[in-house]
Structure 1
Amino acid sequence: MKKVGTLLAVFMLFSSLCFAEVEKGIIDTIAKRIEFHGELEAGFWLESIGHKNVKGRVEDSEIQLTTAALAIEAEVADWINVAVVPLFEVDEFFIDEGHVTLGPTENIPLYLTAGLLYHPFGKREEYTHFPDDPFINLPLTLYFGEIWDPGVIIGYTQDFGPSNITLEGFAVYADVSDSEENRQVDTFGFNLCYNISTEDYSFEIGGSWINNVLDSSGFKDYFDEEGAWDGEFRTEKDIDGVAVYASGEYRGLYFTAEYMTATSTLERQGLIGRSGEKGARPRVWGVEVGAALENYVPLPKPVEVMFRYEGSLDAQEIYEIPRNRYAVGANIGLHDYLTWSLAYAYNDYNEGYGGGDPTGNPTNGSLFFTQMAIEF
């Protein structure tokens, strides 16, 4: 009996060690193949707006948990990656992204991404160092060019030493249908850009085209508020969109510039263009310059300062954005994962713009904003 008990104890010990090794192997595999990235943002804004038909100024303020996100990325194989991004954004919780990417590999520079994703039309929030939407409407190009729908992206990247060229084509299963309520994969476009990067500087230039910019989030939000659609915007005419962009960085100094336009007039009752005639051809743009001060001045914490100018034509009524915006801001790195941001923006509106504002015709506005962001 003692021998049996000893053998049983040895067997149990061996089994527990084997299980521990298997468990350790699973944990090691998960740690190696799965990555987590988190983001938590809380902000406060105070806005003062002047109106053509109202004495004094209208003031408003808000404090809000603007963003809480956890990105989960898994490397299934060397050439298969999946990503899911649950997101809380100003009182809404939803899946922001969920897609699988095949490639590229060392031998094949092609890649394919399919699922729920943001399609590569312009650069939008990639081209600003200010705290981005949804809290303070930065940048303006985000409303014009954000294409967020299920779809597929096929890309090709060719390296030339320190530089490379990337060509991407995309097709969108869009929330846009015809009068017979047929939803089709008929929104598509491409993005082409050239990049060069060295130890001292980097530079990028590129352009995008889409056959129906009416599928952007900004257009759909406008028509949703106007009661023009019940979950799907219906159109008989596609409106092409074009975006061009460039950016550069040299020893802590940087600049970005982006321009987006519709190629034809959006004719819809109630939309008035600059000429006062029916219809509008919206255009938006933004230019930003900034510097990392710690590269030039000894500071206890990293500090980045920036200035941004944005403008628009025929876009105020659709997006409720200003004709001109001038903004200054700073990002202060309090910790490796914690950033404190401050920003001030002056907004200049066309006086004829009424929008949905019950007080009528804003003329100008001042916006102060601050945010704490944790990223890991």
Structure 2
Amino acid sequence: MKKRMVAAAALFSLAIIVPGGAAAELPAEVVQQIRELAEQNQKIVAQNRLLIERIEKLEQAVAENREAAGEVNSQLADYDGSLLQKINERVTLSGLVEVEGAVTDDFNGTNTSDLALATVELGLDAEISQWSSAHLLLKYEDGASGLGVDEGTITLGNLDNYPVYLTVGKMYVPFGNYTSNMISDPLTLNLGESNEDVIQLGFEANGFYGALYAFNGEVEETGRDNLVREVGASLGYLYANDEHALDLGVDWLNNIADSDGLSGYLMAAPPEGAGLTEIADQVNGIAAHLLYNYGPYSLIGEYVAATEAFAASELAYNGGGAKPKAWNVEVGYTSELMGKETTLALGYQGSDQAVDLGLPEKRYLAAVSMGIIDNTSLALEYIHDEDYSVANGGTDNDAETVTMQLGVEF
């Protein structure tokens, strides 16, 4: 194309330069070709101008698109950053992993040892808005079939602005406190802890806290419909300053038979349990706790009990109906050992009329735990158990357990 354009331009120039007389001497065909080539050259020049204009417009459009794309990418980056920032501000993740090794000499004189993944917890707390929040806890314990929902609640309220809140969902009802410096759960927890689908109305104001709650338990009263009949109440007081911390509380539950430990026994098939889903009458339960810290020293006291006896066919003791109770007393001391925070604890626990629940009559404990590195602890616990007498359904023997635990919390 370029060669044709050059040739045409040359001929056109030649036609202009050559005098009229000389042009007249050229053959008519040649003159006609020169004129046609000149016309084609003019057309090509016009087309080139149009092409140049189009190319310039395309280049301008490309530049504008690049600028727009840059603005979009910047906006997306800002959005991603703000979204992640909002998630970090509103959502808190937490977790716990515990591995335990234990050696046991039980009431029957049988020696056993085991190493197990004892506990896995994964928690999520989300601040949905200023007045609503959600909590989820997934949990696995040794012997369970897998990771399951241990807690899942929605709370409406804002304690920074208003002292009353409403919580609904699956949770541990506020019956008992169960704080401990030991690896093992206290006997009070074995008797009173209850994980249920609950509606709870609570408050916190001027150090006082409390709650009213209701749920539909698994163990029904004979002849009653399957309705929400289990109710409870909790009241406590919390005080803390730079040196002292005090937590006092009392709790009431109208049917302690729905605690996890008691309902597990009542509903289990014989001989492990009573094989029941109904009981003659609801059995009230009470709980009280005291937690006190003074500098490095701590004191824990707790009591959980049924206020009336079960029928002998439901939970028996010494030929009659049992009225079970349990308690826990611990003292602790926290200091630094080799530059690591270390807690030493001694405890005494006991139960009464709870032999069918598999609880010892007396338990003596000692434990030491150390934060070996950030969020990682190592603990050692010794337990000496004394069983009920033979006359009261026990073996009258002693048992020993030594447990070591490695835990990571985040």
- TM-score, normalised to structure 1's length? 0.88
Say whether 1:194 aligns with 2:251: no
Q: Higher strand proportion, which one? A: 1
How big is the shift at 1:233? 2.5
Output the amino acid matched with 1:115: G
Say whether 1:307 aligns with 2:341: no
Question: Partners of 1:362 and 1:270 in 2: how far apart?
Answer: 23
Q: Which has the larger radius of gyration?
A: 2
Match of 1:345 in 2: 383
How big is the shift at 1:75? 0.2
Question: Partners of 2:114 and 2:389 in 1: how far apart?
Answer: 26
Match of 1:108 in 2: 162
Mean Cα deviation higher: 187-196 or 339-348: 187-196
Question: Partners of 1:16 and 1:249 in 2: how far apart?
Answer: 55
Output the amino acid matched with 2:333: A
Structure 1 residues 231-310: aligned runs within 5 Å? 233-269=277-313, 271-273=315-317, 276-294=318-336, 299-310=338-349
Output the amino acid matched with 1:243: A
Question: Partners of 1:369 and 1:68 in 2: how far apart?
Answer: 18
How big is the shift at 1:272? 3.5
Answer yes or no: is the 8 Å Cα contact 1:144–1:218 preserved in 2: yes
Say whether 1:119 aligns with 2:173: yes
Deviations 1:234-289 (A, max 9, x none): 2231000011111100011000001111111111327432xx22211001000000
How big is the shift at 1:188? 0.7
Match of 1:37 in 2: 94
Question: Partners of 2:115 and 2:176 in 1: how far apart?
Answer: 30
Answer yes or no: is the 8 Å Cα contact 2:107–2:387 preserved in 1: no
Answer yes or no: is the 8 Å Cα contact 1:322–1:349 preserved in 2: yes
Question: Partners of 1:353 and 1:344 in 2: how far apart?
Answer: 28
RMSD: 1.9
Output the amino acid matched with 1:260: V
How big is the shift at 1:224? 3.0
SS at match of 2:390: coil
How big is the shift at 1:105? 3.5
Find 2:204's aligned residue among 154, 157, 161: 157
SS at match of 2:316: coil
Q: Higher helix proportion, which one? A: 2
Structure 1 residues 1-376: aligned runs within 5 Å? 1-51=58-108, 57-92=109-144, 93-124=147-178, 127-132=179-184, 138-159=185-206, 164-179=207-222, 182-226=225-269, 233-269=277-313, 271-273=315-317, 276-294=318-336, 299-318=338-357, 320-352=358-390, 361=395, 363-376=397-410
Deviations 1:211-234 (A, max 9, x none): 00000000111123335788x822
How big is the shift at 1:27? 0.7
Distance 1:169 1:195, change over 3 A: same
Question: Partners of 2:107 and 2:120 in 1: how far apart?
Answer: 33
How big is the shift at 1:199? 0.3
How big is the shift at 1:17? 1.1
Deviations 1:26-64 (A, max 9, x none): 11110110000010011011111244xxxxx21112111
Identity %: 24
Output the amino acid matched with 2:234: N
Mean Cα deviation higher: 344-353 or 32-41: 344-353
Unaligned runs of 5+ in 1: 52-56, 133-137
Structure with larger RCO (C-alpha < 8 A, sep 6+): 1
Unaligned runs of 5+ in 2: 1-57
Question: Partners of 1:225 and 1:147 in 2: how far apart?
Answer: 17
Output the amino acid matched with 1:257: G
Question: Partners of 2:347 and 2:316 in 1: how far apart?
Answer: 27
Answer yes or no: is the 8 Å Cα contact 1:79–1:105 preserved in 2: no
Output the amino acid matched with 2:152: G
Output the amino acid matched with 1:213: I
Distance 1:153 1:362, change over 3 A: same
Answer yes or no: is the 8 Å Cα contact 1:270–1:278 preserved in 2: no
Output the amino acid matched with 1:339: S
